[in-house]
Amino acid sequence: MHFKVSEIVAALNAPAVPKKFADNEVDSVSFDTREIKPGALFVPLIGERDGHDFVPAAITAGATATFWQKDHTVDIPTDIAVIIVDDPLQAMWQLAQHYLRKINPKVVAVTGSNGKTTTKDMIATILATQYNVAKTYANYNNEIGLPFTILNAPTNTEVLVLEMGMDRPGQISHMTQLARPDVAVITMIGEAHIEFFGTRDKIADAKMEIVQGLSADGTFVFNGDEPLLQERAAKVTQKQKTFGTQSTDDLYPVSVSAGTHHTTFVTNKWADVTFTIPMMGEYNVQNALAAIQAARVFHVLPEKCAQALRKFVPTKNRAQWLEGDAGEQILSDVYNSNPTAVREVLHDFVQVPTDGQRIIVLGDMLELGDQSAQLHASLATDIDPAKIAQVFLYGHDIKSLADALSEKYPTTALHYYPVGDQTTLIHDLQNTAHSSDLVLLKGSHGMHLENVLARLM
């Protein structure tokens, strides 16, 4: 990003700033004073706190300019370029739209109930072998994170890879209309956010909003194994590429060799190219297939895709193997959770060989609504005492899973802890796990199992 203040004012059709500020240069944007860089534009968002209260801190940190909501008529600073707008967030969106037109990159948009961050990162890693690439930072995938990502993309960005999350209908529609992607990717449809949508059908409808902004000559990449997506894709007029596990998909694995830290696979398209990802799990193979399909739109050779994926660095707390203080191997997957994701990671976890015992620590899966107790309890069929020796459960709704498992596990192997009793869980877990054991940590981010991970390490 690089603007003069006068260009920002003109792009937003905002009132002119004093001449002494008009030629000031802005080369980044921030809504958090803790991350302000000299030369930044500060966006004072209004939430639990009013961002205008932090403008003095932004000035101290080196901000060159700030938006200022016009109904805030007092304490307007005079020692910085103040750009008067109706709404700072909407102004950030308008400026992002202007900047996209200015640098004109190709855009890849990614959504899905599971795997969207990993897939986004894989796409960016592959495309970076041939292009100047910018991507959504971490999980900045909402209405604030999207324009933030766009505006902080370097001016030489050739491909912008954007992750789009949602928790209500219309959210992705709004974002895709801004981004206008050339490639739209849906990883899969699960139960995430079913509290807000009620059914998987409605979740699929919301995810499909991503194609509303897809360019007329763009490409829609989606999981061809999902009937809900197949039905809806029939109405999409743009080019389509599918990935999955079936021979009816455009791209699918014909062989998969899963290890603890790496997974290797060969696809139907290129028998002489072996792909390796530094992650466990056949579900991550699906994320890689989605990334390959997106990269092929940009004419990246399969061999280049394979080279890039071998060097891929997963985002923290997503299927990450670590060593605990007692020498135990810990599979940390504590960023998010839903029934599909838990089943997938359990399926792969129990296949990892060990001389010790397998221990699982599961936290509540949030945002499952009225179906939460039932969906938690349904995981009992995926937890086998012959493969998993110890079960630790933490949360409120996960009590239903504890009840269901009580028929299969003795009390010495089944441990339930209500919300607020994480300290006891940690103590018991530390006394249970030994050097030869495998431990899985999986739960929604709001359950803060990262605290358990920190204590184990």
pLDDT tens-place string over residues 155-212: 999 999 999 998 889 999 999 999 999 999 999 997 766 667 778 899 999 999 999 9
Ranges assigned E (strand) in 151-196: 159-163, 183-186
303 and 281 within one domain: yes
Residue 78 falls inside a structural domain: yes
Are the beta carbons of 282 and 258 closer than 8 angstroms?
A: yes
Residue 402 falls inside a structural domain: yes
Ranges assigned E (strand) in 291-398: 320-323, 329-333, 358-363, 390-394
- Radius of gyration (Cα) for the chain, nearest Å? 24
Confidence of residue 232 (pLDDT cuts 50, 70, 90): very high
282 and 216 within one domain: yes
Residue 119 falls inside a structural domain: yes
In this structure, of 102-106, 332-336, 387-391, the range with the lowest mean pLDDT score is 332-336
Count of the separate structural domains present in the chain: 3
Mean pLDDT of the chain: 94
CA–CA distance, 121 with 162 (Å, rounded to integer): 10
Confidence of residue 314 (pLDDT cuts 50, 70, 90): confident
Confidence of residue 114 (pLDDT cuts 50, 70, 90): confident
CATH number of the domain enclosing 422: 3.90.190.20
286 and 139 within one domain: yes
265 and 203 within one domain: yes
Residue 100 falls inside a structural domain: no
CA–CA distance, 117 with 333 (Å, rounded to integer): 13
Residue 70 is assigned to a ligand binding site: no
pLDDT > 90 in the chain, percent: 85
The pLDDT value recorded for residue 119 is: 96
What's the chain's length in residues? 457
Residue 115 is assigned to a ligand binding site: yes
CATH number of the domain enclosing 73: 3.40.1390.10
What integer is the mean pLDDT of 264-276? 97
In DSSP terms, which residues pair with 98 in a beta bridge?
none
Containing structural domain, residue 143: 105-310
Domain boundary among 35, 57, 87: 87
The pLDDT value recorded for residue 197 is: 73
The pLDDT value recorded for residue 316 is: 65
Q: Nearest-5° angle of CA 420, CA 343, CA 246?
A: 155
For residue range 394-413, what is the model confidence (pLDDT) as tens digits? 999 999 999 999 999 999 99
Residue 118 is assigned to a ligand binding site: yes
- Which residue reads 């101290």 in tokens? 60
Give the pTM: 0.86
452 and 331 within one domain: yes
Residue 113 is assigned to a ligand binding site: yes
Asked whether the predicted pLDDT for residue 333 surpasses 90, the reply is: no
For the ranges 5-14, 274-283, 350-359, the one whose mean pLDDT is highest: 5-14
306 and 324 within one domain: no
In this structure, of 302-311, 335-344, 353-362, 430-439, the range with the lowest mean pLDDT score is 335-344
Please state, in angstroms and as integers, the Cα–Cα distance from residue 256 to each residue in 172, 285, 287, 319, 387, following that order. 33, 8, 14, 18, 22
181 and 62 within one domain: no
The DSSP bridge pattern shows strands 25-26 and 3-4 to be antiparallel
- Residue 88's Cβ-count burial label (10 Å; 0-12, 13-18, 19+) is buried
The pLDDT value recorded for residue 194 is: 65
For residue range 245-255, what is the model confidence (pLDDT) as tens digits? 999 999 999 99
For residue range 52-89, what is the model confidence (pLDDT) as tens digits? 999 999 999 999 999 999 999 889 999 999 999 999 99
Confidence of residue 235 (pLDDT cuts 50, 70, 90): very high
Domain boundary among 276, 310, 344: 310
Residue 117 is assigned to a ligand binding site: yes
Residue 356 falls inside a structural domain: yes
For residue range 117-169, what is the model confidence (pLDDT) as tens digits? 999 999 999 999 999 999 998 889 999 999 999 999 999 999 999 999 988 89
User: CA torsion sign, 254 to 259 to 263 to 266?
Assistant: negative
The pLDDT value recorded for residue 282 is: 84
